[in-house]
Structure 1
Amino acid sequence: MRIAIATDAWSPQVNGVVRTLQAVRTELERQGHEILIVSPDLFYSLPCPTYPEIRLAFATVADVGKRLADFNPHAIHLATEGPVCLAARRWCLTRHFPFTTAYHTQFPDYVSARTGVNPEWIWRYIRWFHAPAEAILASTPSVAATLEKHGLAGVRHWGRGVDLATFSDCTVADPALARLPGPIQLYVGRVAVEKNIEAFLASTHPGTKVIVGDGPARASLEARFPEAKFLGPLFGDQLAAAYAAADVFVFPSRTDTFGLVMIEALACGVPVAAYPVTGPIDVLTDQVGAMHADLDVAIATALTRDRQICAAYGETFTWEASARQFLSALVPLDQDKAIAA
């Protein structure tokens, strides 16, 4: 099957959307499917205001459409709500081609956190963008309920997975981290205002706070919380070693739709502390973590969880299952019409 995926999130960006798309593409190709990625790196782009790591592409309908037409896909998926996917969306609609979309991030909340704009204004755009889709893919029941609450129908489940070759049986701990005063409290992810990292850094549970990742808020947070250890981005075995050194993984975000890093930590045997919000409430159980409105309470409780139970639970999230769900939600194009177009 030839599957075209348009996305405004792609490498060198480092985030859950990119990692999800890359992992699912790899799994689908392993199964014999042919995948086209239409991404910002194919076009002239400019840095996004307030978040320069994200590039906004000047992708015209003609340019995006030519790439899609040349590929002659059996199905088209629009992964994000930015310029590349806007162009792909218009190209599909003018030809009456079906497509699916996905709601990866709490875009209205992110925009509100950065600009103060009323999130309901952004929801008008979200409804407009996703309404023509044959299916809207969502990672958790809570996200599906949010979309339905805002008037969007046809939501399909699309779960997430863990790279078990890297984040399973994590026994080799980063020696530098392991020597720090415990318990080691780890955060992995973008260092940005919408991730609510300040709440973690301001928590009072004893031990050492470690931040893995980068983003626009890093410099200010490093200056305000000099006792925390900021390691920058880590990948592969280095990231697994950081997980292995941690006693608890702290996920302070209140706006994530899932939280891939939570299941990576769990697969490495690290319990998770979080707020009881969308993402954690769909992923965590009482055996593998703790959720509480007071993050200090969540951290203290999570530290009592059994690491072997955490690892076994984390390993139940596979990219094979995620790719299967993605594939089942796709809507095939009428190939006679597609070829004629």
Structure 2
Amino acid sequence: MRILLVTDAWAPQVNGVVRTWQRVTAEVRAMGHEVRVVAPDGFRTVPCPTYPEIRLAVFPGRGVRRAFDDFAPDAIHIATEGPLGLAARRLCLKLGLPFTTSYHTKFPEYVSARAPVPVSWGQAAMRWFHAPSAAVLAATPTVRQELEAMGLKNAAAWTRGVDTGLYRPGLDPALDLPGPVFVYVGRVAVEKNIEAFLRLDLPGSKLIVGDGPARARLERTYPGVHFAGMQFGEALARHYAAGDVFVFPSRTDTFGLVMLEAMACGLPVAAYPVAGPLDVVGTSGAGVLDEDLRMAALGALSIPGGRARAHAETFSWEACARQWLAALAPVPGAVHGNAAAAEGLA
């Protein structure tokens, strides 16, 4: 099958969405399918307002149209609601092509955290974007329910996986900090609610692994916290190994891939009982979910690392890829090479 993936989130961005798609496309290609990725690296871009690390494609309509015409896909998936996603959505609707979408980021909440925009406005925008999709893929049952409550009746389940070979117990810690060590890994940005963790009165040390627009301010405000910056691959796994508990303070993530990575390394999770943690950790015993994040962090100290690892092993990237393939909407063969029908679309 020839699959066209359109995503505004791609390397060199570093986040859970990019890691998900890099791994899923690798799995799908290993199964014998052909995947073409339409991403910002193929377009002229500008920095995203308030988040310059993210580059946004400028007027990508013609480039997206060329990708459709040249590749002649059997299925089209639009991963994000940015400029590329909007261009691909418009083209599919013009040509009458079926497509699927995915809901990775709670944009209504994220935008509201950065600007005086009501969450309800963002939800209306999400309804508009995803309603024509054959299926909008949601990472957890909780997020699927939230989408349905938003008015989207086409939500479908799509799980995630973790590399249990890379992320594993027993690695040499990257740092030797006074214990116990409470770790956060991810974007250092306001929507991640990191200060809810940094304000906690906890014994030992706090370790922040990652980068983002809020890092400089947080480093000034919390000089006793160790900020390790962005880490990758084995170095990232060794930073997980430096910790005793993984603290996930976000209330707006749709999944939280870093929780799986931490558990695979033998770290129990402390988090709020919200979408993401409710489904990733749930009642597995691999973490503690509590509205009192301090109590959750202290309670997680008593959880054996082996229990966290065992729960992480129930998640597979192969299963994630196969679920995505099964959800895709076939494009009728008659549209292949249909360049003429796309004339005039930009």
TM-score calculated relative to the size of structure 2: 0.96
In structure 1, C-alpha distance between the alignment counterparts of 2:141 and 2:92, rounded to whole Å: 28
Residue number in structure 1 paired with 2:200: 203
285, 288, 291: which one pairs with 2:289? 291
2:8–2:84: 8 Å Cα contact kept in structure 1? yes
2:69–2:338: 8 Å Cα contact kept in structure 1? no
Residue number in structure 1 paired with 2:224: 227
**1:286 Cα deviation from its structure 2 partner:** 4.9
Residue number in structure 2 paired with 1:133: 133
Residue number in structure 1 paired with 2:333: 335
244, 247, 257: which one pairs with 1:247? 244
1:173–1:243: 8 Å Cα contact kept in structure 2? no
In structure 1, stretches of 5+ residues that fail to align are none
Aligned partner of residue 52 in structure 1, secondary structure? strand
Count of residues in correspondence between the two structures: 338
In structure 1, C-alpha distance between the alignment counterparts of 2:187 and 2:178, rounded to whole Å: 24
Amino acid at match of 1:316: T
Aligned partner of residue 13 in structure 2, secondary structure? coil
Matches within 5 A, 1:234-273: 234-273=231-270
Equivalent pairs: percent with the same residue?
57
Residue number in structure 2 paired with 1:305: 303
In structure 2, C-alpha distance between the alignment counterparts of 1:338 and 1:150, rounded to whole Å: 35
**1:211 Cα deviation from its structure 2 partner:** 0.3
In structure 1, C-alpha distance between the alignment counterparts of 2:55 and 2:156, rounded to whole Å: 28
1:287–1:306: 8 Å Cα contact kept in structure 2? no
Residue number in structure 2 paired with 1:185: 182
Residue number in structure 1 paired with 2:214: 217
In structure 2, C-alpha distance between the alignment counterparts of 1:26 and 1:165, rounded to whole Å: 16
Runs of 4 or more consecutive aligned structure 1 residues displaced over 4 Å after TM superposition: none
Residue number in structure 2 paired with 1:34: 34
Amino acid at match of 2:36: L
2:182–2:244: 8 Å Cα contact kept in structure 1? yes
TM-score calculated relative to the size of structure 1: 0.97
CA RMSD after TM alignment:
1.0
In structure 2, C-alpha distance between the alignment counterparts of 1:62 and 1:248, rounded to whole Å: 48
Task: Give per-residue Cα distances to partners, 1:77-135, cap 9 Å, x unaligned.
Answer: 00000100111111111110000000001110000001121011111111111010001
Task: Give per-residue Cα distances to partners, 1:296-315, cap 9 Å, x unaligned.
Answer: 10001111111111101111
Residue number in structure 2 paired with 1:106: 106
In structure 2, stretches of 5+ residues that fail to align are 340-346
Aligned partner of residue 46 in structure 1, secondary structure? strand
1:174–1:238: 8 Å Cα contact kept in structure 2? no
**1:340 Cα deviation from its structure 2 partner:** 3.5
